[in-house]
Each structure stands twice: as structure tokens, then as C-alpha cells.
Structure 1
Amino acid sequence: MTHHFDPAILREYDVRGTVGRNLDTADAYAVGRGFATRVRRARGARIVVGRDGRLSSPDLEAALVDGLTAGGVDVVRIGVGPTPMLYFAEATLGVDGGVQVTGSHNPPGDNGFKLMLRHRSFWGDDVTDLARLAAAGDWITGNGTVGEADVMDAYVARLRAGHTAGAYRIGWDCGNGAAGPVVARLVRDLPGEHHLLYTEVDGRFPHHHPDPTEEANLADLKALVRARGLDFGVAFDGDGDRIGAVDGEGRVRWGDQLLCLLMEPVLAACPGAAVVADVKSSRHVFDRIVELGGRPVMGATGHSPMKEAMIAHDAPIAGELSGHIFFRHDWYGFDDAILAVVRLIDAVDRSGRSLTQLRDAMPALVNTPDVRVPVPAADKWRIVAAVRDRLAAAGADVSAIDGVRVTTPDGWWLLRASNTQDMLTLRAEGSDDAALARLLREVDAHLAACGVVRD
């Protein structure tokens, strides 16, 4: 038996596509067979499986489990929950790996699979290897078993462990994603006053799209914070591994700004440690790491390379502009937006100031959001390479860790190919509005020379 995946669903960090167009239950079964083969060849035998609340997730999860058991792997099902709960289960249940069925922050019709093997991300060449195994029919066969485990209470208790901060008035927008039930359970044990939005899991996402990196999706949270006079508000993406936040005035606190707060108590506990921030992060993050006595490390964007960079540099914390915050200090090394909120409460309390005051104390740099430029999938890497060649010929100050990050007297700009969408992503940060405008004109000139005109 063989199977051929649509190459478009074989992403850098996971398998992800649009259900009914390039992803179906046959693909889910093949992922299960291929992953079971890799698990057994690594001398593993037991896998934990979870799923998000998308309408397609039950069928995809069932087909995945069929593939895993047909490959001779025993499966522990944990049901619906955020991806960090799957990571927690993989770290604590004595299993050899894990799979979360999730479309993450993508539109409702999308879905996919995030995989872990031996407590490490399964990504890059590992994902391509699933396609090779499927095309060759190179699958181990067997007769695995299926069991169930309820890990939510243990996960919530672990999130709560060590939390001693004072009482705050907080808004929580779960966006009808998979984090909702965990958040509803967690806040019952947290001090303070908690106002919850959209905790019911609903794969149609009827209130707004669950991606807190898009400011429009935070409108309901901003309105709640302002109407109730709350201290701050937090939001999650569809599978609960990205955090969004607004201060008491309803202003967005992006992921790199949150990292600046969250790393301070970590570096107090781990003096001189490395902190990894992705290439999209503000210059202020790297400056702040140095101010706090840490070692700044710039890493490639993406949850898998960020986790690997943490291990390589023995970093106790890492973060991305997109709201993925990764914890190894007193945790398991994965990104968890719900834990990030618990630790944000602690960090704010420790500072003796409000989140609004902490926001005001940051440098007045001017930056763009994460700007997405649609391009054909086959062209995005070529365009970045062409821009890199132009910059090299001009002798520019460039970091090529992930795309190109160019530093100039005005600030910096970044151009990279998205690993999850058919897009180029652009970000720029300048010392003032005029500097930012000059930076954007520079990047637009490079794009125009490669045949790309940004709207």
C-alpha cells in the first residue's frame, strides 16, 4: 500500500492543509502509518494523541489513530484540548511521542498535525520523510492498542503550581478555541476577578478568527477591558500556544514586549543565561536581555527551530513576536500561552507596576506589525534569495538566520518566507516615523526589483 501527499501540506514545522482540498482522512491515516514507523524504528511503542475543536478534527483524529495502531504503536487519547496540553501529556505520561490534530491559527477549514518524537519537535526533514515512507509503502505493520487518559486536571494543577501573585482583574478571550475549557478551569483557582469570553469550543469560530497576532481579532477583548476597567486582557489562538495581550487602556502588547517582562524573573533565577528571541523581535528585546545580565540569541522564527535553539544554547526562556513563549525554567521546554498568562501575572506583580505603566516605560520605537505579502508558493524562497544577493552586493549589514534582517542607521527591516503560508512576511522598526518610512521604501525597492509590489 502506498500514499502520495499533496506537497503543499508538508510544511516546515507540521503537516497542514485545507480539508477537502488537499487534506483528508487518507492523509491522516498515512501520517499515522509513517509516524508509527519512525517511532518504532526509534525503539518507541507508545504515543499520546490530542485534538483541537475544529469540525474536521474528530474524523482526522480517528484516521490518524487507525494509522498509528496499524503501525503497531499503542495510542493514548487525551481528547480535545490546547496543543500545550498535548505537549504536557507527552512530557509526563511516559510515552515516546505525541501528535496534536490542529489547524492552529489558520481558517476554520484548515487542519493538520503537530508531531513530537522523544520530547523533540518532529519537523523539517522528518516531515518530508513521512512522504517518502508513504510513497514507497515503507511502513512497519503491527497491532497497537488504544486507551484514554484525562490529563486536564493535572495540567491545570501544574499551571497553577508556584503561582503566588496578588489579585488582578483580567479579561480572557479564548476565541472558541481549544484553550477555553482549560482557562475556565484554571481561573476557578486563581485569585482576582476574571471575565471570560468565548470559552465554549466551537470549530466555526463564530465570534472572531482565533489569531491574536491580528489586531482586529482583539476588538472584543479591548472593549471588555475598557468597559469593565480591567487591569489587562489576554487572548489565545485556536490551539492555545499563542498569547495576545492588551493593557488597561486596550493597547496591544505584542509577543516580544511580553518576553521583555517574562524574562526578568527568569534571569533573576538563572543569572547570565541565554534568552532566545526570534528575528522578528524588536531591538529593545536584545538590549533588554543585556541590561538584565543575560546572553541575547537571535533565532529563526517557528516553534520547532525556537525549541531547538533553546536546547542548543541552554536557554531557560524564549519568545517570538507572534506570541509563542517557550519555557524551560521550571517547565518542559515548550510554548504555552496559558502558562505565559500565569507567569505574566507573576511578572507584573513582581514589578510593582501595572501592565499599562510597564508598557509606557518601554522605548518609543516605531514599528510595523507582521506584514504579509501574498506570493506564489514556488516563488517565495526565490524572492528572498534574490533580495539577499542584492544586499550582499551592496555590502549591507545583514543577518541571514531566517530570511534577511537588515540593520541601518534608521533601524532594521526583515524579509522572510513564511513556513506556514504562501506569503512573504515583512517587519520594520525605526527610531521615528520618518526613519520607518525610509526603511519601508528601501525594502519596497528590493521587492520591486524582484517583481513584487506590496499593496
Structure 2
Amino acid sequence: MSHVFHPSILREYDIRGVFGETLEVEDARAVGRSFGTMVARRGGHRVVVGRDGRTSSPLLEHALVEGLVASGIDVVRIGVGPTPMLYYAEASMPEVQGGVQVTGSHNPADHNGFKLVFEGSALFGTDIFDLGRLAGEGDWISGSGRVEEADVLPGYVERLLQGLDGVDRAALSVLRIAWDAGNGAAGPAIEALVARLPGEHVLLHTIVDGHFPNHHPDPTVEANLSDLREAVARGSLDFGLAFDGDGDRIGAIDSTGRVVWGDQLLAIFAEDLLRNRPGATVIADVKASSALFHRIAELGGRPEMWKTGHSLIKSRMKQTGSPLAGEMTGHICFGDPYYGFDDAIYAAVQLMAATVRLGRSLTELRDAMPEMKNTPELRFAAPPGRRLAVVEEVLGRLRAAGARVTDIDGARVDTPDGWWLLRASNTQDMLVVRAESRSEEGLARLLAQVDAQLAASGCVRGPEAAH
């Protein structure tokens, strides 16, 4: 037997599609067979499996487990929970070598997919495509694994609470915070955590509901923060926290309702970290604000710009030994003494701790940041088959013109007005643009440069497309 996946679902960082259209139950079974085979050939024999709250997740999880067991892999099922809880289980449970989370992440309710990890490292890139190759060739090991169930939520919450060890409890007890789980898989973990936290806490949308009846669970879209903003204003709270559908992306607003974006949160975490870890490397993706890199250097750290993608960021952390990394999209990764994976709930705990240790409210920390004018991440369809070529053509012209360009992931160009970025999406046939300046006029000039470069390659920016 063999299996061929729809060509669109094998992505750079995970496996993802529209359930009933590009992603079917048989795909889940084939993922289990292929991942089980890969784990077994690398010396493993036990895998932990979790799922989010989407309506299609039980079916996909059942078929995934069938595929793993048919490859001779023993499976530990941990049920519904955030992806970071799956990562925690994989890292902390004895005799477990790999993990799979069934999740559609921050995507619409009819989407779903799989995030995979082996021996503490995310599977991405060539490993993802190797799974497809194994399935296409039917190159599967056969066996008869066993299935057991485990409740890891209490242990996970206990580990989250350790993030507050040594923090002044009296100062924590005066914090007043709103938490919006967006009806995503993080809801029960947030409820269990908050029940044991000092301070006053307001919980929103913690009931897991795969239809997402209140708002879409993506905290990087400001419109999705309106309930949180209202709760903070109504209660005169210190700040609000929001989470995506599987709990690995964090969003935040301060007491005035301003969004504190992922790269701004990373600047706060860097300030907290570098007081005790001077000279440490802090990694941020190529879409992050220049203000972040300047701030890390100013604080005595070593800023490193890296490729966009949570799996790529986590891999780079391991290579460099960096204790902190993140993306503009709200994936924040804490290394030693944590595990180095992106965990939005742990990031929330660390934000509480940082405001106490730094002796300033989130609003005061946000006030101290430079006001930059920037675009959101602008995504638009690339000309057919030209996604990578357009970026290479632009890079060639920029180099020939002597521009200050960073080519680690696309073209990031520094000018007196600020910077702009053009890169090819790793997950879709899209081009991605972002720009930042200190003035609206400067931002307009940066976007004009982008448009001129695109025109020189025979394409135009827009219309913007969804993730």
C-alpha cells in the first residue's frame, strides 16, 4: 500500500489543509504510518499524541493513532490541549521519542493539520517532505504498537508555575489581568493555571469550541482583540493576554488598549533576561522591528536576525545556545531553564514576572518604546511559478545598486527612511512584504521602492491574501 498527499498540505513547518477538501482521514493514517516508520528507523518506539478542539480533530487523531500503531509504535494519548502541552509531554515523559499534535493552529475552523516533534526538535523542511516520500512509496514498517492514555495537564500547569519561582508574590498579587483563550485548546490549561495564580484574573472564552463562536483565534489580527480590549477597559485592568487556537502564539494589550506586538514583547523579555545573562544571544525573525535589534544591543545582548518560521527559529536556538527567541507573530521561545519551544501560556507567565522584576507596568514598558510606523505583514499572490524567482531578481538589482540588503530570508533593505522586506512565503505561493519607518511619509517612500522593484520583475503588490 501507499498514499499520495494533496500537494498543498506538506508545508515547510507542518502539515496543514482544509478538512474534507485537501485533508482527509486517510491522510492522518498515512502521517501516522510515515512518522511511525521514521521514529522507528531513528531508534524510537514511543510517541505522544494530542489534539486541539476543532470538530475534525477527533477523527484525524483516531486515524493518526491507527497509523502509528500499525507501524509498531506505542502511543500515549493526552487528549485535548495546547500544542505546547504536547511539546512538554514529549520532553518530560519517560521513554517518549516523538510527538504529534493534531491542530489547525490559528487558521479557520475548517482547517486542520499536524505539528510533529522528534527528540525535542520540531520536524520541518526536508523531514516533512520525507514523510510524503515514505507514504508515496509505501515504504512503511509494520508492527503492532500499544495505546495508553495519560493526563499531563496537572504536570504541565505545575511546570508553568515554576516560571514564577523567586518572583515577589506580593507584587504579583496586585496584578489584574484578562485572558482570552478564543475558545481554543489553551482554555482548560489557562483555567487551571489562573486558579493557582496570585492577583485578579478575568477569563474570556475558555470553553473549547471548534466553531470559534466569539472570534477567530489569531491574536496577530487586531480585530480579534476587541473582546479583550473591552474587558481590560471595563475592569481597569493592567493588561490583557490573547492566545491562538493551539496556544503557541501570544497577543497582548496594555492598560490603554494598545497592542503590544510579538517583537515588542520580545524586547521586554530581552530586558528581563539580559539583567542576569549579559551578552546572551537573542534571536528574532527577519520581519521584526529594527527597534528590537537596537534595544537588544543597547541592553548588552547579541541580537541575531534569522529566518521567519517557528521551526527555523527553534532550530537556530539549539544551534547557538540562545536562551530567548521569537517572531513578530507571537511565537516566543524560552530556552534554559525552559525547553526552547514556543509556549504562549509560559510567555504569559513570564510577562507577569518581567513586569514585577523590572518594576514597571506593561503600559510603562510600552510607553518607553519608540513609535514606529509600519505595515502589517502584507501577503499577496505571486505570479504562477515565479515566487522565488521574483525575490532573486530583486536581490540581484539591489546588490548591483549597492543597497544595504540582508538576504538571510528574502531581501530586507535598510534605507534612511527605515527598512522594507520582500520574501517568498514558505507555506503558500505568496510574496510577503513588510516595511517600517519613523514617519508616514517615510513609510510611503519605502512602499514605493517595493512597488518599483516588483514592477521591474513584472508583478504588482496585492490584493492581500489570507494566511
Query: What range describes the TM-score normalised by the shorter chain of this pair?
Result: over 0.9
SS of the equivalent of 1:129 reads: helix
Residues 9-62 of structure 1: per-residue CA shift (max 9 Å, x gap) = 010011111111111111111111010111011010000000000110000000
Partner of 1:75: 75
Instruction: Give 2:293's aligned amino acid.
Output: F
Instruction: Give 1:19's aligned amino acid.
Output: F
Residues 326-383 of structure 1: per-residue CA shift (max 9 Å, x gap) = 0112101100000001000111112222111111111122211222223467443233
Cα offset, 1:162, TM superposition: 4.4
Q: Does 1:57 align with 2:57?
A: yes
Partner of 1:146: 147
Partner of 1:383: 390
Range with greater deviation from structure 2 (399-408 or 145-154): 399-408
Matches of 2:192 and 2:433, distance apart in 1: 38
Residues 202-228 of structure 1: per-residue CA shift (max 9 Å, x gap) = 011111110011111111111111111
Instruction: Give 1:143's aligned amino acid.
Output: S
SS of the equivalent of 2:8 reads: helix
Partner of 2:193: 186
Residues 209-250 of structure 1: per-residue CA shift (max 9 Å, x gap) = 100111111111111111111111010000000000000010
Partner of 1:396: 403
Matches of 1:400 and 1:274, distance apart in 2: 20
Q: State how many pairs are aligned.
A: 455
Matches of 1:347 and 1:446, distance apart in 2: 42
Matches of 2:384 and 2:12, distance apart in 1: 13
SS of the equivalent of 1:116 reads: strand
Which runs of structure 2 are paired with 1:316-395 in the superposition (5 Å)? Answer: 316-375=323-382, 378-395=385-402
Range with greater deviation from structure 2 (47-56 or 217-226): 217-226
Partner of 1:91: 91
2:431 to 421, 424, 430: 424
8 Å Cα contact 1:210/1:217 also seen in 2: yes
TM score, norm. by length of structure 1: 0.98
Which runs of structure 2 are paired with 1:261-300 in the superposition (5 Å)? Answer: 261-300=268-307
Which runs of structure 2 are paired with 1:17-166 in the superposition (5 Å)? Answer: 17-94=17-94, 95-163=96-164, 164-165=167-168, 166=172
Matches of 1:328 and 1:334, distance apart in 2: 7
SS of the equivalent of 2:225 reads: helix
Root-mean-square deviation (CA, aligned residues, Å) is 1.3
Matches of 2:176 and 2:354, distance apart in 1: 15
8 Å Cα contact 1:367/1:430 also seen in 2: yes
1:434 to 435, 438, 441: 441
Cα offset, 1:112, TM superposition: 0.5
Instruction: Give 1:157's aligned amino acid.
Output: E
1:247 to 251, 254, 260: 254
Partner of 1:406: 413
Residues 262-308 of structure 1: per-residue CA shift (max 9 Å, x gap) = 12222223221111011011111111111121111111111111011
8 Å Cα contact 1:266/1:329 also seen in 2: no
Range with greater deviation from structure 2 (319-328 or 431-440): 431-440
8 Å Cα contact 2:163/2:346 also seen in 1: no
Matches of 1:34 and 1:344, distance apart in 2: 39
Flag the 1:56–1:111 CA change in 2: closer, same or farther, 3 A.
Answer: same
8 Å Cα contact 2:163/2:349 also seen in 1: no
Range with greater deviation from structure 2 (389-398 or 143-152): 389-398
Flag the 1:184–1:42 CA change in 2: closer, same or farther, 3 A.
Answer: same
Instruction: Give 2:132's aligned amino acid.
Output: A
Cα offset, 1:175, TM superposition: 0.4
Q: Where in structure 1 are there 5+ consecutive unaligned residues?
A: none
